A and B are shown apart, each in its own frame.
Chain A
């Protein structure tokens, strides 16, 4: 029972991780990490600010097929 339960939880965590990566939800965390490494002294933009910057960038969507 516990083995199956653990397995299920692991699968669900995997699905969640996948979707978060796919949709760009984890982009902010990656950005913060990157920012702290390169500019350790500067303040990091908040999530709200970051999402706005991100959407400015998305304003130029890539090509996609039919």
Chain B
């Protein structure tokens, strides 16, 4: 190591350590969010430079002389070598969504510290490792999906469990995300109008791209984003006008709209709605996240929440039930460890990567970026006054939904907020009320509007920024709902096609309608259950969503561990086995508590028994208001309890099957047959990291490629065709 490098990395380590020190020692006093950012960025830098590099070199043994599938199978369509910076953008847009924004907001009920530690430590040792390792293994297997790898590496049972897991998880995921949107838009004419406008905007963009200017995506997106901003501004006018009532809906009506919309989006051709919406949401996503990062750094807001609140250990909090272990690790999935990323890492990304060593930048680096988004979300939630935070995030069943009763409830928790302050907070963002706006999106939007208003535009812009943030979240949640419904539909068509051939045909209209309807009905059911649940849908369903996501991570980490063991790298298997053990402990403990806990606030079946017994006696238990509410609770807790048990069972099956395979691999005298594609020489020259090193620049110059781009070596070793790059003219 050169001296300069030693000095730089020592400095980074010291800065990170000082920030952690401040976080650890600050008790009972408010600290600036800067320390949180410093701790996060310092840790990421060290982890990326040392741990990720170690995994690449020693564990995976990335080999840049080996051609990637993008190079070997280049067909100019799904397999093609893609500039690493572009691929990082693609990959990031596919993995980041509302997840890292919502989970940390809910977890803030336990204070800023538990969430922050899990987001940073979790991403370094679990989440980013999973994303990178799965990306690498899939790349070595021509971009096979997680399900295919599970079937080939673990066996049919593991494969089927994985496939089933993916499907059920997708349904819960879509329902919970849709619930977040419903909670954000209910009784909000401004939000509802703006989001409704995205449909005609997307249709217009789709038409424009197909008929007027085919392929001009940037131009179309710029027009789209401009219209979107206009829709947000116009939402304010609508909310003030006599039209407001036409855009004010209760959660039940919004649920019906979403279900109808989801079905339509699934059966319509993609160019009409899904593709243009995807462009819009990508631009908004990257733009807003960059804005948020800049805003947090410039505004450097002060954290108002406790470092560790009493809801971490001593009491059950109103936002979600259960102790810090395991429920913080279930609530924050995306941002720390998210199983869903394994689907992206084994989807399109491995088919486009230029060089093996780039898995560090794209897999590990991409996940670090998502983790940073989660840290920003924690900050946005924790700069709110805790009284306001709990008034917004406690279910209506306990706050009563009005400012007076909400204020009393918050006071009973030990925090203070007056009804007048609650009214003022709602008026500042031009909403009817902020009481019990659960789901995380409105809280994050208030936090973001606070930060943005400080940096860009001042107090007068606060309501605009609030609705901008709501729009930004709702937009990409709806994109996920569109895409997820379609993915679920294809999975269903694929599976049912084995039973009845025509159903498998993508173009057969009745089959398409039938499978779309099944998928929409499945998530629609949970969405409806969440919206009408007297105990609060987020409170009930979010843990299920977290468990499901972490279950998928357990499957992914199991696949990775099995591959390591089978390829004779038992000594390095801890790299994925340790996060797997942790994740399994978290998931199984959480499922155990959700199924078997005697506390009706935590255990679904205890809850069921309590309400069923009361129902039999004809009693009504708060927060239920009548006997109908009571039977709703009984039904919901039964379904939720069965699902929690099913999830746990699936993990146990996959891990059990994997253990058998590992045991066989360890006992076998020779390594088991590999499913890797054989080595072929690579002719691509491209840098590994974001910026080319001096050595890489020299190699690029030798073939006449731009200094930061890439190129292809020709056989005689002299020149070569130069790659394209923004720098080249």
Contact = CB atoms under 8 A, between A and B. Distances in A.
Interface of A: 10, 13-25, 28, 30-31, 33-35, 47-48, 50-52, 55, 57-66
B413 interface: no
11 contacts: A18-B89, A25-B215, A28-B215, A55-B271, A57-B78, A58-B275, A61-B278, A62-B344, A64-B97, A64-B480, A65-B95
B217 A25 contact: yes
B490 interface: yes
A44 to B, nearest CB: 12
A50 B77 CA distance: 11
Q: Which of A18, A23, A31, A35 has the most CB of B within 10 A?
A: A23
Given A47-B215, A51-B215, A66-B480, A21 B83 contact: yes
Contact of B269 (A17, A25, A55, A64): A55
Contacts of A65: 94-97, 99, 334, 338, 340-341, 343-344, 480
A55 B275 contact: yes
Interface stretch (B152-160, B182-190, B719-727): B719-727
Contacts of A28: 215
A44 B709 CA distance: 28
B95 A25 contact: no
The 10 closest A-B pairs by CB, nearest first: A14-B726, A66-B99, A34-B76, A17-B726, A63-B343, A23-B217, A65-B340, A55-B271, A21-B86, A51-B214
Contacts of A23: 217-218, 221, 279, 282
Given A51-B215, A58-B275, 5 more contacts: A21-B83, A25-B216, A52-B271, A63-B344, A65-B99
A16 B216 CA distance: 12
Nearest to A19: B218
A58 B76 CA distance: 15
B218 A16 contact: yes
Nearest to A31: B76
Contact of B214 (A34, A35, A47, A66): A47
B62 interface: no
Contact of B77 (A15, A18, A19, A57): A57
Nearest to B86: A21
A13 B726 contact: yes
B121 interface: no
B141 interface: no
A55 to B, nearest CB: 4
Contact of B97 (A14, A51, A66): A66
B486 A61 contact: yes
B396 interface: no
Interface residues of B, number: 60
A30 B93 CA distance: 22
A35 to B, nearest CB: 7
B9 to A, nearest CB: 29
Nearest to A15: B726
B214 to A, nearest CB: 4
B95 A64 contact: yes
Contacts of B380: none
A66 B340 contact: yes
Contact of A62 (B83, B173, B347): B347
Interface string B485-509: 0110010000000000000001000
B218 A25 contact: yes
B101 to A, nearest CB: 9
B526 to A, nearest CB: 15
Contacts of A33: 76
A22 B506 contact: no
Contacts of A63: 94, 340, 343-344, 347, 483, 487
Interface in B47-92: 74-78, 80, 82-83, 85-86, 89-90
Contacts of B93: 64
A31 B75 CA distance: 9
Given A16-B218, A64-B97, A66-B177, A59 B270 contact: yes
A14 to B, nearest CB: 3
B210 interface: yes
A50 B216 CA distance: 13
B209 interface: yes
Contacts of B484: 64
A47 B421 CA distance: 58
A58 B177 CA distance: 23
Contact of B348 (A10, A30, A62): A62
Interface string B643-664: 0000000000000000000000
Contacts of B338: 65-66
Q: Which of B83, B93, B97, B275 has the most CB of A within 10 A?
A: B275
B506 A60 contact: yes
Contact of A60 (B99, B334, B490): B490
A61 B93 CA distance: 13
B170 to A, nearest CB: 8
Interface string B175-207: 001000000000000000000000000000000
Contact of B98 (A19, A22, A66): A66
A60 B507 CA distance: 12
Nearest to A24: B217
B269 A59 contact: yes
B270 A58 contact: yes
